[in-house]
Amino acid sequence: MTDALSASGLCKRYRSTWALRECDLALPAGRVIALVGPNGAGKTTLLRLTVGLLSPTSGSIEVFGSSPTTNTPQALARIGFLAQEHPLYRSFTVADLLHFGASLNIRFDRPLAEKRLASLDIPLNRKAGALSGGQQSQVALALALAKRPDLLVLDEPLSSLDPVARREFLQTLMGAVAQDGITVLFSSHVVHELERVCDYLVVLNNGRIAIDDDIETLLERHKILTGPRSDVHDPMLGTVIEATHSDRHTSLLVRDGAAIEGWQEQPAGLEDVVLAYLRGGVAMDRTKVAAE
Amino acid sequence: MIWMTWRQHRAEMLVLTGIVAVAGLILLMQGLSIRGLFPDGAAACANSDVTNGDSCAQALSKLSDGYGHPEPISFLATLMPFVIGAFLGAPLLGREFEAGTWQLAWTQAVPRLRWLAVKVTVLAGLTVLLTLAFSAMVTWYRAPVDTFDGRLGQVGYEVEGVAPVAYALFAFAVATVAGVLLRRSLAGLALAAAAFVMARIAVASLARPKFASAMTVLQTVQDKGPGDTRGTGNAGDWVLGTTFIDSSGHKLSTATLEKLSGDAANAGVSIPAYFQQHGIHRAVNYQPGDRFWHFQWIESGLYVGAALLLVALVAWRVRRRSL
């Protein structure tokens, strides 16, 4: 099966600053993929490269086997994009926006969008600028979904929403995923809200890929080990990602390790793992060790 | 796409069309009242000796007192090409960047160069239609006034014929580029205004007098009076400058002229008489008035060419944009 997104040696530079360096990625299709990283890590750049709004400085990127920079109607039809702050034409009514979507797309499903908006009680004759932030994000999502994309890309879709709107937004999104089986790639800088909805994780730090893995595998491979304080590392414990020491104890977040005598083992939370990699500035070893 | 262009820009389109329509009404009313001054047509007064034709003298003095407001109207008319072109051009991309909607527009299934091509065609097309209509109305309105002074070298040259259309297209392109560079439509409008005015001044003062090689006519210097012609004797010609040359064809400097005037006074003759005695002639450097269309087409070509270059620049930026 072709990957939904694959990149090799992907670099993007803005004048003298590098936004992305040497990124290699292979994201499987049919998954809900979270792209996580601190502000300025290059998330927006990676997403814009994915949808063809930017072209790479060097390296290549492919969406379902074809380059998004070709900018052909066929390539454009396969992706749906929801930019940060879900921009809409504010003077357009919701109906105008649907007309816009229908006239600029090949396989735009207008009845589907209308049904979605009706179920959310969003009036079609209201101007987009007069809608609440949550409603605007729903309209933008409905537009992107009505394109019937194979890959839906969302840039920080939750950041400008209040908790209620967040839940509603995720509900709509997950409903669509369950129905159409599309691949979703979305960015966020908060980890804890992703665990419920995502099954694949990409962590970007400083323009480089730190983690690119299935969440389940990721959690299986990482553990928190607690034992007597020691500054010498026993290789039996695994690869240490992060170590914290108190007076008597040492707590390690390790990969592919196990507790030895005198140590206790605990599962690591997703947030613990992500933060450990980000703080340590390290990248995950991509050669996956078969779990014994 | 055409529906989209209309929906996005209909406010500007309607307002500008409204402005041109209202301007047309005003021009019609004022143009009719100017025509009312010349029941036999303005040409009849231009040909007859004004001092003898009593009704013509009255009409002309009324006209020069501002009857029918040719001066303020012509001044406002010089602004119109910019207003029309820039208000359609500045938001084309400036507003998309301002609101972030470029990301929405360019991720639909229309390749962005096609998107740009449709928008530019529709909006530039409207710019041409509106300025063409406006220029035609101004040309009609100013026709009686132009009968007396011609159009080349006058304000008529800049508000009549095809030049206003070219100015408007240039304003459209400059404003579009400014909108891209500043990513704001209002700031883009301001930048475009500055660039537009500078280009217009540069072309008018540096390039336009050289569109065709100027002609020179030599005149005997006369005493002030009916025999003393002003300019070339043809009011429609565009006089670029007047100099005095001696019998061997050399241009006389200001210092020499002052010295000669002093000599004339010492010799007890009038300056014109003294100049005649010494074979000094007045040389009038001018562009003949019948070159109006020739000049208009050259100037239009210049501005349309610049507009095309700027649009190509926009297309290049849109194609390979890096934020």
* DSSP string across B6-22: HHHHHHHHHHHHHHHHH
Residue A290 confidence class, pLDDT cut points 50, 70, 90: very low
Residue A56 confidence class, pLDDT cut points 50, 70, 90: very high
Question: Average of pLDDT values for A207-229?
Answer: 90
CA of A235 to nearest chain B CA: how many angstroms apart?
A: 46
**Does position B52 have pLDDT exceeding 60, yes or no?**
no
**pLDDT value at position B49?**
58
pLDDT tens digits along B22-35: 999 999 999 999 99
Minimum-distance CB partner of B109 among A77, A89, A99: A77
Residue B18 to residue B82: CA distance in whole angstroms: 16
pLDDT tens digits along B288-323: 999 999 999 999 999 999 999 999 999 999 987 654
Q: Which residue of A has its CA nearest to B112?
A: A71
Residue A63 to residue B107: CA distance in whole angstroms: 14
Residue B50 confidence class, pLDDT cut points 50, 70, 90: low
Question: Average of pLDDT values for A57-85?
Answer: 91
Strands A264-267 and A151-154, bridge-based pairing: unpaired
Nearest C-alpha neighbor of A187 from the set A163, A212, A154 = A154
pLDDT tens digits along A123-156: 999 999 999 999 999 999 999 999 999 999 999 9
Residue B67 to residue B148: CA distance in whole angstroms: 15
**Does position B232 have pLDDT exceeding 50, yes or no?**
yes
Q: Among A105-109, A144-148, A288-292, which is the least confidently predicted range?
A: A288-292
Nearest C-alpha neighbor of B131 from the set B195, B200, B80 = B80
CA B292 to chain centre: 11
Question: Average of pLDDT values for A217-243?
Answer: 85
The 8-class DSSP code of residue B203 comes to I
B-chain CB neighbours of A48 within 8 Å are 103, 323
Minimum-distance CB partner of B104 among A76, A88, A96: A88
Q: How many percent of chain A have pLDDT more than 70?
A: 97
Q: Which residue of A has its CA nearest to B106?
A: A53
Residue A35 to residue A1: CA distance in whole angstroms: 22
The 8-class DSSP code of residue A128 comes to G
Which positions ≥6 away from B62 have C-beta within 8 Å? Answer: B37
Minimum-distance CB partner of A81 among B103, B110, B111: B103
> Which of B95, B104, B122, B318 to probe the A interface (max A CBs under 10 A)?
B104
How many other C-beta atoms can be found within 10 angstroms of the C-beta atom of residue A256?
A: 17
A-chain CB neighbours of B93 within 8 Å are none
CA of A281 to nearest chain B CA: how many angstroms apart?
A: 26
Amino acid at B307: A
Minimum-distance CB partner of A14 among B103, B112, B322: B322
**pLDDT value at position A184?**
94
**A62, HSE (Cβ side, Cα atoms, 13 Å):** 11
**Does position B233 have pLDDT exceeding 70, yes or no?**
yes
How many other C-beta atoms can be found within 10 angstroms of the C-beta atom of residue A99?
A: 17
CB B24 within 8 A of CB B134: yes
Hunting for tokens 């019948």 — which residue is that? B290
Residue B319 to residue B113: CA distance in whole angstroms: 7
